[in-house]
Amino acid sequence: MIVTLSKSISLHDKEMVRIYLQDRGFSIQEQHFGDDVIIGTQKKGVADLRELGLLPGVERVAATSKPYELASRETHPEDTIVTVGPVTIGGSRISVIAGPCAVESKEQILETAALVRESGAVMLRGGAYKPRTSPYAFQGLGMKGLEYLKAAGEAQGMPIVTEVVSPELAVDMKDLTDMFQIGARNMQNFELLKKVGSLRKPALLKRGPSATIEEWLLSAEYLLSFGTPDVVLCERGIRTFETYTRNTLDISAIPVVKELSHLPVLVDPSHAVGIRAKVSPTALAAVAAGADGLTVEVHPKPDEAFSDGPQSLYPGQFERLMRDIEAMAPVVRKELLRTPRHSYGRAAMGPGAGTAPEPVHRPSSAAQVAFSGERGAYGEQALIRAFGEDVPRLSTASFSGIFDRVLDGSAVAGIVPVENSLTGSIHENYDLFLRYPDIAIVGELKLRIVHCLIGDEKAGLDSIRIVRSHEQGIAQCREFLDKHPHWQRESYSSTATAAASVAKEKAAHVAAIAGEDAAKAFGLKILKAGIENNPLNYTRFVIISRKVGDKPWIPPGLGSETPNKASLVFSVPDTPGSLFTCLRILSEGGINLSKLESRPIHGQPWRYLFYVDVNIPETEGVFEHIMDELKTKTEDFRFLGAYRGSL
């Protein structure tokens, strides 16, 4: 049973609730989930739920059918997002933890940290204490290894996670690690679970090799009930009769556990298969099944590793895996988590342990991010993918409103759609960049668009007479709409605004084309899902911020990876070969052209601007030199921004 208390409950009323439960045979544990304060009962007593619900300060009472009450989705319907330093695990992000099986030396862990960070890992893993089957195997460097691991994490701006093997060591390790890992062999070491829970630090709980899902969740219940609200589950394969792999990855456990529990779920493909060549395909399968992230073993020289070398990826293999995850993420409606590279904590040690400076040119404004439309809009979904669920959001009535709010400082950034894979460029927004020269592009992401026909609870396909959506939504669903020629089509400023109008009207004859999130936001029913012309329907969004001086400010949450893409716009003289000359400059400079589109220049008939996206070469100074040369051959050259492009 779970008792949720009012946010304004007095200490006296809270104590009376405790006494009521204890007098009726319940053992209780107080927990905090977001803004909610709840009391969970740890053994069965007898109480009248209606009487309990009437006590002062009690907001609601929920009886559960699961033995793992605190871990159950019945008592906590919303997904839990666990925060470890700058890293969030859960929600719409895919978080990747990487590092060696064991810390072998200061040099080894510093090198590994730099390599996995460069490829996009956001947390560093490594064992300082290694429980091994053989007493003669490498057991780890102990506290010295943990100090090396901590320093390597600080050098790269990554929190660390490491395994704890005893309650006594948990106390000693508390101040050196950011997250405890409970290994598979210790999943039912209940004294260890109690101690780690009482320390109230985030915990990564691996499933035991022969554990059922219920046993796994009951172990999570120990951690939750003894104090820590930040528990992440990790599926790492179970023991079966199969011998071709180290373990058998129970990939079906991912959707099952996510239905049963609100806790985030990671997958360890390295221990699941134990074979280097099989780790990447298994990792991608886990992402496709809904995992919130991965923990992967990576070693600079796996053949020389002290432990688990055969399952550790080479750095190049890990880099390719991260690119594949980034490409797959939009398909499962998620975004690969990137975090700033700033060092944190105590000073880093050793070579390669330099720190990145804090961002400069920070505007003085509330940390809001602007998008166009109502709650549930695709722009809001993209915003959440880029900045996380907790970022304050500022809704605007139009795309130009996003630019206005960023320009006047009401928002630190904005997210704007510029291109769709089915209907092409959104010209209105490209033109806005010319009207707002003090706005720059600082990032991009691609969002898979799944359109739904949504309506009032009373509505059905036979009752619909009017369909509302943004003009892009209507165009992207034209084939479906053409099957219903009697439906009147009405254009709105956004898909979510159309959904809001349907919710307000509460009529059976009107419907909207919008996403599933908009249906949930406005309490509408999905009449038909997936009505877009083609399932390969993606919208490219760019993230914009205001220039301060001659440089754009980079909002927190975008990370600080080196830009690999740029957008520019220019016109050319009205002479033969002028555009060819510009393209030749790019070609001879080794710069790949990924987009070229012309737009009429307003007020100058038959004159055109060219919008161009290019890839930035890795060699330092080459891109700047080519841009300087290009300016000499163009007219009205404008650099829209350099950023980290999505795949």
Distance separating alpha carbons of residues 611 and 597, to the nearest angstrom: 5
C-alpha to C-alpha distances, 50 to 7, 53, 216, 291, nearest whole angstrom = 20, 5, 32, 38
With beta carbons less than 8 A apart as the criterion, state whether 231 and 220 touch.
yes
Please classify residue 389 by burial: count the beta carbons closer than 10 Å to its beta carbon, then call 0-12 exposed, 13-18 middle and 19+ buried.
middle
Distance separating alpha carbons of residues 442 and 561, to the nearest angstrom: 11
Distance separating alpha carbons of residues 608 and 276, to the nearest angstrom: 53
Interaxial angle between packed helices 578-588 and 622-631, expressed in degrees from 0 to 180 and rounded to the nearest 10: 170
With beta carbons less than 8 A apart as the criterion, state whether 148 and 177 touch.
no
The torsion angles phi and psi of 447, rounded to 5 degrees, stand at: -115, 130
* Buried b / exposed e along 216-234 (16+ C-beta atoms within 10 A): bbbbbbbbbbbbbbbbbbb
Q: Which pair of structure tokens corresponds to residue 493?
A: 């400023």
The catalytic position among 541, 570, 623, 634 is 541
- Per the annotation, the verdict on 539 as an active-site residue is yes
Distance separating alpha carbons of residues 169 and 195, to the nearest angstrom: 10
With beta carbons less than 8 A apart as the criterion, state whether 295 and 321 touch.
no
- Per the annotation, the verdict on 541 as an active-site residue is yes
Among 517, 385, 396, CA closest to 452: 517
The catalytic position among 306, 539, 570, 623 is 539
Distance separating alpha carbons of residues 609 and 476, to the nearest angstrom: 26
For the chain, the straight-line distance linking the first and the last C-alpha, in angstroms and rounded, comes to 46
Give the catalytic positions in this structure. 539, 541
